[in-house]
Chains A and B, each alone.
Chain A
Amino acid sequence: MKKEEVPQDKSNLETAKLKELCYAVDEDGNYITVNSSGWDPKTIALSQAIEEINERVAEAKSRVLNNETSPIEYYMEFHKMDLSILASYVGMWTWLVKRHFKPQIFKKLSERKLQNYADIFDVTLDQLKDITKHGN
């Protein structure tokens, strides 16, 4: 990649006033570093991944509202987690966490366990039990 080929496309790096560093060659063939504001092929891949997550969140949300799953699954998706990551935060086996996705079982969870989930998801107990109270 030549110095002038370092892409300067618009990207979400801007929101953090960040430009990333790329390696490129100058006129004399020497390697130098050049800041890049972003590159479209990458930005598209990234926004596609975000879109995918948003879809998963929306889907989880509607399933919670239909009483098909518990709010834990919704908050898990909201925090871009998967089952194994959530389980390691909770400090329980994945199958136990998965069990808590069942609305009947979620209703019977102890305050202590619920509080643990609420802390991990950074929400109040109220919000944990009722996802319509969750901002965003």
Chain B
Amino acid sequence: MEINFTHHQTAHCENGVISNLMKHHGFEISEPMAFGIGSGLLFCYIPFLKVNHAPALTYRAMPGFIFKRFAKRVGIQIKREKFKNPEDAKARLDANLENNNPVGLQVGVYNLTYFPDEYRFHFNAHNLIVYGKQNGTYLISDPVMETVTTLTAKDLEKVRFAKGPFAPKGHVYYPVSFPENLDLEKAIIKGIKHTCRDMLAPMPVLGVKGIRYVAKLIRKWPKKNGVKKANHYLGQVVRMQEEIGTGGGGFRYIFAAFLQESSGILKNPKLAELSKEMTVIGDLWRDFALEASRIYKNRSAQEDAYNKVASQLEIIADEEEAFFKKLKNAIK
């Protein structure tokens, strides 16, 4: 059985699932719109946690939060289920497909057979849509892929029941009811306000303060950890910023696209101006990544070079602080 479903490639998986499911149900919601309303943009250094033996940091909201906030703000209802038993999880998925209902799934990346090997890490917050089943093989629309793909029942069970942090536990979700008209204006304002609050939060590891915190750490890395580790850590910062799904520049470009689209919907020209500013900030992040890559490419750990990229980050933090203050005022 195959549900009539149109696949659109997006940069990020969670926005992509939202956008693709909304489009399937007749609501034109772009990826940046889903990302912005769901307040996806963030910067957070996560102390005490190591990912691939290097410090963890993120450029976006916690997995699942974007969809949750998006749903609440535009007034759609989402049904979510998790399972202890893989058989129950499979039965529920099949029942939904039988009902012509494409569903979103949270999955682990490590066993996703269609991903390039290099990208298969134990990361459990990937999202995809299942839109059918043929001869025991599931039809998959993974938003980050260019085209649709498939997974065998066995492989799908493996990724749905991946273990480790954020274990998906067969998590399946889909919208069940929609309002007659989506009230985008209000939702956009709520989304922007929330993002400003996060980015300007008075917390040492969150938002612009978090960027400054990481800059400070970077200065210490070569002395404290030695060349090899310092380079590995710096590489991880860049990987998190530019991994598949960020749309480039640690989600800053997607956010700029959201502001541009919102400017039209809210008829607020200030947002269009701010969108341009955000694009420039995105470019600064790219410059930072480029400079950082020169360090780990040469396998050197001259303190000078580390200080230089740390200074770049501090400039970005200043720019973003000024930016989000302006953004907050622009929607008052």
Residue ranges of A at the interface with B (Cβ–Cβ < 8 Å): 1, 6, 12-13, 15-25, 29-31, 33, 35-36, 39-42, 44-50, 52-53, 79-82, 84-85, 88-89
Contact = CB atoms under 8 A, between A and B. Distances in A.
B118 A19 contact: no
A18 B286 CA distance: 22
B123 to A, nearest CB: 10
Nearest to A30: B260
A81 B11 contact: no
A47 B297 CA distance: 10
Contact of B52 (A13, A30, A80): A80
Interface stretch (B64-72, B99-107, B208-216, B232-240): B232-240
Interface in B207-233: 231-232
Nearest to A24: B253
A50 B118 contact: yes
A18 B248 contact: no
B170 interface: no
Contact of A49 (B239, B244, B245, B276): B239
A22 B163 contact: no
8 contacts: A16-B116, A20-B144, A21-B10, A22-B253, A30-B260, A46-B118, A49-B236, A85-B122
Contacts of A81: 122, 164
Given A20-B11, A21-B11, A80-B122, A13 B256 contact: no
B117 A88 contact: no
A97 to B, nearest CB: 12
Contacts of A33: 11, 247
B144 to A, nearest CB: 7
Given A16-B116, A40-B293, 16 more contacts: A12-B117, A12-B118, A15-B117, A21-B10, A21-B247, A23-B254, A31-B32, A31-B257, A45-B293, A46-B119, A49-B235, A53-B52, A80-B110, A80-B121, A81-B164, A85-B122
Interface of B: 9-11, 32, 50, 52-53, 110, 114-122, 144-146, 163-165, 167, 231-232, 235-236, 238-239, 242-245, 247-249, 253-254, 256-257, 260-261, 275-276, 279, 282-283, 286, 289-290, 292-293, 296-297
Ranked 4 nearest A-B pairs via Cβ: A41-B293, A31-B257, A23-B253, A45-B235
B281 to A, nearest CB: 11
A19 B239 CA distance: 17
A31 B114 contact: no
B113 to A, nearest CB: 10
Contact of B242 (A24, A42, A52, A79): A42
A31 B256 contact: yes
Contacts of A46: 118-119, 239
A23 B248 contact: yes
Contacts of B231: 48
B244 A20 contact: yes
B9 A21 contact: yes
A45 B11 contact: no
